[in-house]
Structure 1
Amino acid sequence: MTNESNVVLFTLSAFSATANYRGILFFFSILCYGTILVVNVCLILTIVLDPNLHEPMYILVCNLCINALYGTAAFYPKFSFDLLSDTQVISYVGCFLQIYVIYTYATIDFSVLALMSYDRYVAICRPLEYHLVMSVRRTAMLVGVAWFVPLLCEIMVLGLTAQLKLCGSHIQKVYCENWSVVKLACGSTTGNSIVGLIIIAFYCGHVVFIVCSYVPVVKSALKSKESRKKFSQTCVPHLLCLLNVAAALLFDVMYSRYGSASVPQSVKNFMAVQFIMMPPVLNPIIYGLILTKIRHRMATLCVMAGKNLKLRA
């Protein structure tokens, strides 16, 4: 990336709205990040260490958790440090790195959720073909694509942004965001807007794909009690996670592109961090509580850990 402007540091000016309660925000930030680390690591270890959970659905759940750890690592440490600092700045390279990690995290989430909907479609509507269609090799290939495409798309987006000459350095957010950087450009940003809208449309297509996948799944679920049970146990958590991610990202996209100046900065900040706060906490909890195999395995591990502590005491 070539910095065509003289900007070396960006100022994250949205922190001005947190001046009176930074101590409380710091506490909740550390608490939230700690919770994210614990629940996601627990779910990852549960799936990795139990051979009975080495199935496509659980592998995809594991990828959601790994992605949550990847994305939040670019936000929480820097955000927590800035809450305690008098000046909130980030270097040009650091800003682009933060944009890259946070937004690839968001798009990878959508890709994995789309794969999960396809997995549920095959499992419920084509059960006899399931192990052939969702073989270990094919699942690994699909997971690889779900990570590779978002990483490649964001390189293209940031490559365009890096070519812009910037006439400002104040970003009206608590973290670096691509559209906020683009709005600082001195010249035309038409190319950036077009590419951005194409990528947004591409991931909106993921949502359409998920909806289309679930139409036959719902029809199949209505035919028998067994299908309804399978749907409630495996599809409901997926739909809840999709709603969680989509709503959080919608807040951020709408605020970034069409946010009103009349909205209080504190409300804007809350809207902007929704997708990096709620899904990483709620998704593993949803899957851990609803998916029977994971819930039973985690309960067993907790009982074993409790017995080991008693023996040591």
Structure 2
Amino acid sequence: MENSSSPFYFNLTMFVNIGPYRFAAFTFCVLLYSFIVCANLLMILVICQYRALHQPMYMFIALLSANSLYGSSGFFPRFLTDLLSDVHLISHVACFTQIYVIYTYGSNELTILSIMAYDRYVAVCHPLHYHRKMTFKTVVLLSVLAWSFPALFLTAILLMSARLPLCGNKIEKVFCANWNVVKLSCVSTAFNNVLGMLLTITTVFLPLVYVLYTYLRILIVCWKRSAEFKSKVWQSCLPHIVSFVIYSIAGFCDIALSRYNLEDISPFVAVIWSLEFVVIPPVLNPLVYGLKLPDIRRHILGLLSCQKR
């Protein structure tokens, strides 16, 4: 205990030495990040520009795209720098800033997907009351809650983690993660573990249960309705279901990786698993919504054709 202190720099140890493929990997990641930025900005631009898309469902999709830009910007710039570097040190402040951005991105994603599930539930199960329940004021309130609740909760958790005395500086990841920092503590982390469990329950399991509940209710309503009705519901709900499944799988991989003994698996596989959480949802969300929702697809094609002229 006498020699313990919080190291000024953390060392990200999961970067694999890929030798001559380093610049190819860097180029691929730059293109990937560029696609994420362009695709999500295009989604936001189209939804903001066309009045026909000023509806709750599309506004929540724009919020999802904004969150993808936020999370990607908290990960990619630092990751691209590390790809070209032989040393992967990150300062104490930069590390906790990255943790805050990536964790709020992850929590925001689930809360936004939850309010999107509520929107679909009201539209299918209470169509006559939809416009009364999903007013512009309600949409703004739900959006603010989706962003502010995770931010406040994570601020409290990270303040506790930042005050821990640490006996090491090695983080087995390609980006900073709270659990990996807490494991370096020289003292008991029981209170941090309780807070982390509360965060997991409120931002992971409760949204998961709620989304499953809303879709169970939607399935019950659809059960005895016409094939045309089921087709319309399926068309509007499928992109949300796909987004939720993609994010759940990516999030599960990240949580499982943080609890797993990394010595038992290939370093390359470990890196791929750790990247899924911050890469796959921002890449696939604009594709899923842009391609599967006819209104968005039509307006995107219209905007792109105007730009060519």
Q: TM-score, normalised by structure 1?
A: 0.94
1:305 and 1:221 map into 2 onto residues whose CA distance is 41
State the one-letter code of the partner of 1:137. K
CA-to-partner distance for each residue in 1:105-164, whole Å, 9 max, x for gaps? 001000000000000000011000000111000110011000000101110110110121
Q: In the aligned structure 2, how far is the partner of 1:133 from the partner of 1:6?
A: 50
Letter in 2 for 1:291: L
1:250 counterpart letter in structure 2 = F
Match of 1:226 in 2: 228
Residue by residue over 1:51-73, the C-alpha shift from the partner in whole angstroms, topping out at 9 and shown as x without a partner, is: 11111000000000000000010
2:66 aligns to what?
A: 66
Q: What CA deviation, in whole Å up to 9, does each residue of 1:225-275 have, x standing for no partner?
A: 332122221100000000010000000011102344211121111111101
CA, structure 1 residues 20+120, in 2 after alignment: closer, same or farther (shift >3 Å)? same
Q: CA deviation at 1:221?
A: 2.4
1:42 aligns with 2:39: no
Distance 2:260 2:191 in 1: 18
Mapped partners of 2:280, 2:261: distance in 1: 21
Q: What is the identity, as a one-letter code, of the residue corresponding to 1:267?
A: V
* Equivalent position amino acid for 1:241 in 2: S
Matched with 2:218 is: 217
| Cα distance in 2 between the residues matched to 1:17 and 1:86 | 9
**1:220 Cα shift?**
2.0
Q: Secondary structure at the match of 1:278?
A: helix
User: Partner of 1:207 in structure 2?
Assistant: 208
Identity %: 38
TM-fit CA distance, 1:38: 1.0
Mapped to 2, the partners of 1:5 and 1:226 lie a distance apart of: 65
Q: 1:213 is aligned with what amino acid? A: T
Cα deviation code 1:170-210 (max 9, x no counterpart): 11111111111111111111111111112112221101000
| Matched residue SS, 2:14 | helix
Letter in 2 for 1:5: S
Query: Contact (CA 8 Å) 2:262, 2:270: kept in 1 or not?
Result: no
Kindly tell me: are residues 259 and 220 of structure 1, through their superposed partners in 2, closer, same or farther at Cα, counting changes over 3 Å?
farther
Question: Does residue 154 of structure 1 match 2:154?
Answer: yes
Inter-partner Cα distance in structure 1 for 2:51 and 2:210: 31
Output the CA distance in 1 between the equivalents of 2:85 and 2:40.
Answer: 29
SS at match of 1:261: helix
Q: Which moved more, 1:262-271 or 1:44-53?
A: 262-271
Letter in 2 for 1:36: I
8 Å contact kept, 1:233–1:292: no
Indicate conservation of the 8 Å contact 1:241/1:283, yes or no. Answer: yes
Letter of the 1:214 counterpart? Y
Structure-2 separation of matches of 1:185 and 1:215: 43
SS at match of 2:5: coil
What are the ranges of 5 or more consecutive residues in structure 1 without an aligned counterpart? 309-313
| 1:17–1:265 Cα contact (<8 Å) kept | no
Q: Which amino acid aligns with 1:217?
A: I
Measure the CA separation in 2 of the matches of 1:18 and 1:76: 18
Partner of 1:249: 251
TM-score where L is the length of structure 2: 0.95
Structure 1 residue 39: deviation in Å?
Answer: 0.6
* Structure 1 position 45, deviation (Å): 0.1
Kept after mapping to 1: 8 A contact 2:16/2:268: no
Coordinate RMSD, CA, aligned: 1.3
For 1:184 and 1:136, the matched residues in 2 are separated by 46
Separation of aligned partners in 2, 1:257 and 1:65: 29
Distance 2:34 2:222 in 1: 38
**SS of residue in 1 equivalent to 2:85:** coil
Amino acid of the structure 2 residue aligned with 1:301: L
Q: Using the alignment, how far apart are the partners of 1:17 and 1:268 within structure 2?
A: 13
**Residue 112 of structure 2 corresponds to residue 86 of structure 1:** no
Would you say how many aligned residue pairs link Structure 1 and Structure 2?
304
One-letter identity of the residue aligned with 2:113: L
Task: Provide the rounded CA distance (Å) in 1 between the counterparts of 2:150 and 2:6.
Answer: 29
SS at match of 1:14: coil
Alignment of 1:252-291 (within 5 A): 252-291=254-293
State how 1:158-173 maps to structure 2 within 5 Å.
158-173=158-173
Q: Tell me which amino acid in the other structure corresponds to 1:210.
A: V
